[in-house]
Structure 1
Amino acid sequence: MSTSYSDLALADPLKRAVAEMGYETMTPIQAQAIPVVLAGQDVMGAAQTGTGKTAAFSLPLLQRLLKHETPSLSPARHPVRALVLLPTRELAVQVADQVKQYAKHTQLRSAVVFGGMDMKPQIEELRKGVEVLVATPGRLLDHIEAKTAVLNQVEYVVLDEADRMLDIGFLPDLQRILSYLPKSGRTTLLFSATFSPEIKRLAESYLSNPVLIEVARPNATASTVEQHFYLLADEDKRRAIRQVLRDKELRQAFVFCNSKLGTARLARALERDGLRTTALHGDKSQDERLKSLEAFKRGEVDLLVATDVAARGLDIKDVPAVFNYDVPFNPEDYVHRIGRTGRAGASGVAVTLVTKNDQRLMGELEKLLKKKIDVEHLAFEDEKPRGRQNDGRRHWRGDETGDARDEVRRTRGDRQRTERRAPPVAPADPFFDQPYEAPAEVAEPAAWEQKARPARSGLSANIKPKRKVAALFKASDSAD
């Protein structure tokens, strides 16, 4: 099987676009999927993220649509012929950009629609006519209901990151969208990094005799990614990120959290630590999310702290590392998260910060990866070794010079802690500094106690009155 793009049966405009983008050799998923799609067969494609699934379905799709190419300006001559559905806005924008690059030397039109922004610009573009429509399910339904997107001439349907769309609740939306498509004569393609047995059965109900293409073991992680799991306390996670960045001389990284609130808080905390940081999560507007991505791509920020909205399909070149600040709730998301690094054959580092409360999640991850995970101990620069030496003192790591330096640091820290803990000294007050002198009338406790004791028979002589102050005033009154 040939792996050169020059050997593919692609039209010259597409070959020229591929050459300008620097593509020479196909990835395994491209080499296996493109000929099948060119033959018009349905495909279920499973491959590790970052292996070129977008080109695997876009190039043959555009090749087959060239028969509809026309220079006409009439929108009626440019109906939607191909529909590409994706789970997130960022992924939709990315795929749409790639489709435009592949088709730039043709007269095929493409557009992208997604939520989080005004529909009016999208409506204006759709009314001009497009052959390839890239969309998120929710916003596409909005356009269908507004009658600005008509799908009765669709010939190709692509569900990219299909398992994610079904996992996060898009199944009802997908069923509604598919009901608007032609019942026959349609080619359906599903591409994803992972396929569970349940999703395979569900996907097969949409496809006709699909060809299953798996270029890697299901749910496998990329071999180019160096993976580490560190066991530590919650309060040490930020310190661990700083140290790994410093030790491995990493300039940029993704940092994944499980919640939107945790993402926002962590981004602010890392910013206070002196790291240039931006956050990406579902509560941010589309404009803010796009600005965060662009700043990260340009190298203006060091860390992109994000929820799993950024775990799928985002193609940002040369990101050297990924941190899992939280172990993902869904083990499949681990595969997608660490797929943001080590892309296109480059090497990468994936660091997962594990606490003692993550035992169940780690067990599920081991089941998915089908291997035992070795959890390491991260030695911080200012950490003391476990155990005691012969003199009973805890020694610091390092050579003799390092020990001396750390001893000075520890002494300085002890002094600062002592100074911080020292109670404030109250100002002197001459009145309160005088010694206490009892009044003359109470100098002999026995005298006033005898007067104050109730004259009741049967009471023990050892019982003293409960209210001595009241007895004192009674004794003074009788003296007057």
Structure 2
Amino acid sequence: MIKNFAELDLDPNLLSAIEEMGFKRPTQVQAQAIPQALDGRDILASAPTGTGKTAAFVLPALQYLQDFPRRKPGPARVLILTPTRELAMQVADQARALAKNTKLNIFTITGGVQYQEHADILATTQDIVVATPGRLMEYIKAERFDCRAIEWLVLDEADRMLDMGFGPTVDHLSQECRWRKQTLLFSATLEGKGVEGFTADLLKDPADIDAEPSRSERKKITQWYHRADNAEHKLALLKKIITEQAERSIVFLKTRERLADLRTELEKAQIPCAWIQGEMPQDRRNNAIARFRDGTVNVLLATDVAARGIDLPDVSHVINYDMPRSADVYLHRIGRTARAGKKGNAISIVEAHDQQMMDRVARYVKEDIKERFIKEMRPTHKKPVFKKKKKDDKKKSATKAKKKPSKKK
């Protein structure tokens, strides 16, 4: 097992940048992906947010560009696709920090930027371009972006790109970059649509990497839940937690309507908060994230669609006000806390109908998620218990149903 970055065959200029950024030892996904990528393999990696995946593809890309330096100025050699503009900015910022001791140029091409700004970038020498699929496709169609020089294609949060309907665009971009040497695909999950939504020829004999956060990485997140009798009790518990226990919290809700209702309740209680939700104008979204980032507000309400791909430092608590629709989304959510080696907390506030999902989540994360109580706010209802039906029971109940005589005379 690789214990430190020095074992990864990286240039001293990259190692000193890593040290300055405070990275102590490679995370699981970095230790697995970097050597394979440097060996020239395609990569298919399952790596949830918060596992250090950005450095897992940026470091080998930077090393490659230094091992095979360009002979003359020209267009980008590494293309990184991300589903959202925020994620593109974050990836580019991290890439610049890691490349600070090199002369490599890193640019972003995303929506919400004036055409002229991009035209200026595309006229200069680029080494790495981080882009969102839609906007990049516009420039390719206008013959403003040259894909023939691309040697590495990286897809970050590939499952999210499919969720957002970018599958056909990504396939088209893959075709445009057909002269490339390597493809690296990173996705939070590899099941279901995770990869099957793309064409089969995207990757050639890839190295399979499954970097679920290790138990020790997940141990940094303390998880527990509170039971609520009803909506009023649930709201009272949340107010208590965010005003007395949590320093900086992200509160997750399942729909925009639920978010709007909670926002109104918190405003009534004079608890300042910011919020992000799907289909929100970019400037308002940026403003909300900035207010939370700089500490103007310490509570951020979010829906799952809106929260993917944003990296917020120093989140002390993730609160599931609504339980997610699946256990892997729960893992995504709680990955917003305990980042960069810090500790964090994940709290779920569950009503009786949520208990089954809570049990499912505990099985999925292979941990016993304990129930906690707040004095004077204990639930009055009995905790529901769900017995797993065994196959034999199912058969018995099916035969019983068949045998039941008809009530009609």
Report the TM range for the smaller structure's normalisation.
Answer: 0.7 to 0.9
Please name the residue that 2:40 is paired with. Answer: 40
Please name the residue that 2:4 is paired with. Answer: 4
Per the TM alignment, residue 61 of structure 1 is displaced from its structure 2 partner at its CA by 0.5
Match of 1:245 among 242, 246, 253: 242
Q: Map 1:221-232; keep pairs closer than 5 Å.
A: 222-232=218-228
Task: Work out the CA distance in 2 between the residues paired with 1:205 and 1:368.
Answer: 32
Letter in 2 for 1:49: T
How many corresponding residue pairs?
A: 380
Per the TM alignment, residue 54 of structure 1 is displaced from its structure 2 partner at its CA by 0.6
User: Relative contact order (C-alpha < 8 Å, sep 6+): which is higher?
Assistant: 2
The answer to whether 1:305 aligns with 2:301 is: yes
The answer to whether 1:354 aligns with 2:314 is: no
The answer to whether 1:267 aligns with 2:279 is: no
Per the TM alignment, residue 97 of structure 1 is displaced from its structure 2 partner at its CA by 0.8
Q: Map 1:243-392; keep pairs closer than 5 Å.
A: 243-247=240-244, 249-358=245-354, 365=361, 368-369=364-365, 376=371, 378-379=373-374, 381=376
Task: Work out the CA distance in 1 between the residues paired with 2:174 and 2:30.
Answer: 26
Task: Work out the CA distance in 2 between the residues paired with 1:362 and 1:170.
Answer: 32
Please name the residue that 1:186 is paired with. Answer: 181
Per the TM alignment, residue 138 of structure 1 is displaced from its structure 2 partner at its CA by 1.9
- Structure 1, 116-125 or 211-220: larger mean CA deviation: 211-220
Per the TM alignment, residue 80 of structure 1 is displaced from its structure 2 partner at its CA by 1.7
Per the TM alignment, residue 328 of structure 1 is displaced from its structure 2 partner at its CA by 1.9
Task: Work out the CA distance in 2 between the residues paired with 1:386 and 1:263.
Answer: 26
Contact 2:154 2:183 in 1 (8 A): yes
Identity of aligned residues (%): 37
Contact 2:158 2:195 in 1 (8 A): no
Per the TM alignment, residue 48 of structure 1 is displaced from its structure 2 partner at its CA by 4.2
Note closer, same or farther for the CA distance 1:268–1:89 as it changes in structure 2 (3 Å cut): farther
Per the TM alignment, residue 63 of structure 1 is displaced from its structure 2 partner at its CA by 0.9
SS of the residue corresponding to residue 256 of structure 1 reads strand
Deviation readout 1:402-431 (Å, 9 max, x if unpaired): xxxxxxxxxxxxxxxxxxxxxxxxxxxxxx
Report the structure number with the largest CA radius of gyration: 1
Deviation readout 1:298-329 (Å, 9 max, x if unpaired): 22211111122454343323211101222223
Contact 2:276 2:307 in 1 (8 A): no
Please name the residue that 1:56 is paired with. Answer: 56
Contact 1:221 1:335 in 2 (8 A): no
Per the TM alignment, residue 361 of structure 1 is displaced from its structure 2 partner at its CA by 5.2
Please name the residue that 2:30 is paired with. Answer: 30
Task: Work out the CA distance in 1 between the residues paired with 2:215 and 2:157.
Answer: 13
Task: Work out the CA distance in 2 between the residues paired with 1:199 and 1:219.
Answer: 23
Please name the residue that 1:164 is paired with. Answer: 160
Task: Work out the CA distance in 2 between the residues paired with 1:359 and 1:325.
Answer: 13
Contact 2:159 2:193 in 1 (8 A): no
Question: With structure 2 as the length reference, what TM-score do the two structures score?
Answer: 0.82
Note closer, same or farther for the CA distance 1:281–1:129 as it changes in structure 2 (3 Å cut): farther
Deviation readout 1:425-480 (Å, 9 max, x if unpaired): xxxxxxxxxxxxxxxxxxxxxxxxxxxxxxxxxxxxxxxxxxxxxxxxxxxxxxxx
Per the TM alignment, residue 259 of structure 1 is displaced from its structure 2 partner at its CA by 2.4
The answer to whether 1:210 aligns with 2:202 is: no
RMSD: 3.1
Letter in 1 for 2:189: T
Listed as ranges, the gaps of 5+ residues in structure 2 are 383-409
Note closer, same or farther for the CA distance 1:56–1:384 as it changes in structure 2 (3 Å cut): closer
Note closer, same or farther for the CA distance 1:46–1:34 as it changes in structure 2 (3 Å cut): same
Please name the residue that 1:460 is paired with. Answer: none
